[in-house]
Amino acid sequence: GENVEQHPSTLSVQEGDSAVIKCTYSDSASNYFPWYKQELGKRPQLIIDIRSNVGEKKDQRIAVTLNKTAKHFSLHITETQPEDSAVYFCAARSPGFQKLVFGTGTRLLVSP
């Protein structure tokens, strides 16, 4: 089945810097890749997603890129703010399977 690896496990940046989180997946047929943000003690919430027919997607300060050949996708956060501090999860879904496989998460800490 699908396997998703996520790096780094922790990431510390200064406010205003950019942050990049990377994920790789194993099933070349996977076609949907969401990203979730989980604040301390809260539920994971979808922040951005990308489908396999698109190479990049942006939403204000966040963007996701997908490289199907290399089977990896990345989350980019620009101009980080302290409220971006959270755990971020990537996930992948194979066609025909209505279930997401998650990475192990990245704890992002943005220092003022």
* Number of helices (H), then strands (E), in the chain: 0, 11
Options 43, 60, 70, 96; binder of another protein; rule CB under 8 A? 43
> Which residue in the block uniquely carries the two structure tokens 């980080």?
80
Residue 112 binds to another protein (criterion: CB under 8 A): no
Residue 36 binds to another protein (criterion: CB under 8 A): yes
Residue 10 binds to another protein (criterion: CB under 8 A): no
Residue 29 binds to another protein (criterion: CB under 8 A): no
Residue 59 binds to another protein (criterion: CB under 8 A): no
What are the distances in angstroms from CA 83 to CA 23, 55, 108?
22, 27, 10
Nearest residue to 60 via CA among 35, 78, 44, 43: 78
Distance CA 74, CA 5 (A): 11
Size of the site for another protein (CB under 8 A): 21
Nearest residue to 85 via CA among 66, 101, 63, 108: 108
Residue 24 binds to another protein (criterion: CB under 8 A): no
Site residues for another protein, window 81-100 (CB under 8 A)? 89, 91, 98-100
Give residues in contact with another protein (CB under 8 A).
1, 6, 32, 34, 36, 42-46, 49, 89, 91, 98-105
